[in-house]
Structure 1
Amino acid sequence: MKKALAMILCGLIMYPAWAQEILGPSYPITEPDMLEAIQDKLKSMEKNGRLGQLQKEAIERSKQSIERPDPVKGIVKTRQPRTFYFDPSWRVPRDITTPDGKVIARAGDMVNPLDYVPLSNHLFFFDQSDPKQVKKAAEILKRFKGAVKPILVAGEPLALTRQWKRQVYFDQSGHLVRRFGIQQIPALVSQEVAQRRLRIDEMKAD
């Protein structure tokens, strides 16, 4: 066995070309600089104008998402008007204290935010793509002498803000309508006098 191994080693030394053919050629290990590769790619894209085009497209997408956010899903135009109530009370999960250690609420207590901060403005949810709902929103604003926060579930809040010369909001991802349990629009959210709950009216626009 030792003799055979010696012969193989001797052959590798004596015949390097033969050894290279069997073992395969060897190459130096090289690893491209990732940052340099990215910079080269960006320079190439800048040179052929592709980088500028991508920047314009990104700006346009951002502008569109601000001017016209994605509509809230799962909301329909009111077919059957209904009135229901929402109790915002919640159970305190752990003691709430002030910086100096004074306990404001203890774990397990039921707290109603309306006891501390009443709803000073009505909330009106509507779809701008429906002219009847836009007209209804204008009527609601007039009825309550502007003490209303108009909130879109679909449409262009900035464009309507410019048109009405007052702030128009958008219910991003439908967080508010889901929180209140609103399923149909237009819908008006109000706090009745001396009540610790919110009244919600899903109404027809016409």
Structure 2
Amino acid sequence: MKPLLIPALIMLACSAPAAAKDYGQHGTLWPVIEPDLLEQIKARLTHLEATGETARINERMRQRTIARVNRPEPVAGVAHAASYRSWPFDPTISAERDIADDTGRIIIARGTRVNPLDTVPLRAPLVFLDGDDNAQLAWANAHYGKTNAKLILVRGAPLALMKARQRRFYFDQGGALVKHFGIRAVPAVVEQQGRVLRVTETPVRTGGRASS
């Protein structure tokens, strides 16, 4: 170290620490006059409760929920089949990571191609329908009425149909299944053929609005 730096370092090490000093109040201080946000919210809720508005809001929400359960939002982009269309659907997937059992032993290595149908077959056809179309409902009853096929609506009122026809109906919420299989029109049927699925769209005579 250079000789001239040593005295400077010694002086810095020995110097007394700076002391904090109160310089007093400068300028005018004003009280906070904005209302407390939590108090505003509490007052608003109290007012809604007292006027009965809370009960009315809850009832409207309940009625909307019941309406959505009875008649879910129709699946967008699905038309009535105008022509016959059929194609194979291979459900094989490629494992994105190693899959191990509870002892840590690798049972499926990353990159392995797995066909779910090899272990879990499709036990019943999946029949996609417009539940508001009488012709499609009649077609489904004629072809699958005495089978264990799963009737899946893309439009309509499943609970009302179950009550009227004494059979379970499902609904493709959000169109997840029709998107997965590439279905663009109904009625459509998904059935297993060996190690693949066969998807078929079949036109039927247009019927009136279903009564349920």
Q: Secondary structure at the match of 1:47?
A: helix
| Offset at residue 141 of structure 1 (A) | 2.2
* 1:14 aligned residue: none
Map residues 166-205 of structure 1 onto 2, 5 A cutoff: 166-192=167-193, 195-205=194-204
* 1:118 aligned residue: 121
- 37-46 or 55-64: bigger deviation: 37-46
Provide the C-alpha distance between the structure 1 equivalents of 2:98 and 2:153, rounded to a whole number of angstroms.
37
Provide the C-alpha distance between the structure 1 equivalents of 2:44 and 2:67, rounded to a whole number of angstroms.
28
| Offset at residue 138 of structure 1 (A) | 1.4
Provide the C-alpha distance between the structure 1 equivalents of 2:204 and 2:105, rounded to a whole number of angstroms.
49
- 35-44 or 168-177: bigger deviation: 35-44
| Offset at residue 32 of structure 1 (A) | 3.4
Gaps of 5+ in 1: 1-22
| Offset at residue 160 of structure 1 (A) | 1.3
| Offset at residue 137 of structure 1 (A) | 1.8
| Offset at residue 83 of structure 1 (A) | 1.2
Q: Secondary structure at the match of 1:189?
A: strand
- 1:35–1:166 distance in 2 versus 1, CA, 3 Å: farther
Provide the C-alpha distance between the structure 1 equivalents of 2:51 and 2:45, rounded to a whole number of angstroms.
10
Q: Does 1:135 align with 2:138?
A: yes
* 2:23 aligned residue: none
| Offset at residue 147 of structure 1 (A) | 1.6
Q: What per-residue deviation string (whole Å, max 9, x for no partner) do you get for residues 132-187 of structure 1?
A: 11111212322xx3220000000111111222223211001111001011111000
Equivalent residue letter for 1:203: T
- 125-134 or 34-43: bigger deviation: 34-43
Q: With the length of structure 2 as denominator, give the TM-score of the two structures.
A: 0.79
* 2:68 aligned residue: 65
* 1:51 aligned residue: 54
- 1:40–1:191 distance in 2 versus 1, CA, 3 Å: same
Gaps of 5+ in 2: 1-26, 206-212
Equivalent residue letter for 1:161: M
Provide the C-alpha distance between the structure 2 equivalents of 1:146 and 1:32, rounded to a whole number of angstroms.
67
Provide the C-alpha distance between the structure 2 equivalents of 1:44 and 1:146, rounded to a whole number of angstroms.
57
Q: Secondary structure at the match of 2:129?
A: strand
| Offset at residue 87 of structure 1 (A) | 0.3
| Offset at residue 47 of structure 1 (A) | 2.2
RMSD: 1.7
Q: What per-residue deviation string (whole Å, max 9, x for no partner) do you get for residues 172-203 of structure 1?
A: 111100101111100011112xx100011100
Equivalent residue letter for 1:121: A
Higher helix share: 1
Provide the C-alpha distance between the structure 1 equivalents of 2:159 and 2:109, rounded to a whole number of angstroms.
42
Q: Does 1:38 align with 2:41?
A: yes
Equivalent residue letter for 1:201: T
**Equivalent of residue 91 in structure 1, options 81, 91, 94:** 94
Equivalent residue letter for 1:71: P
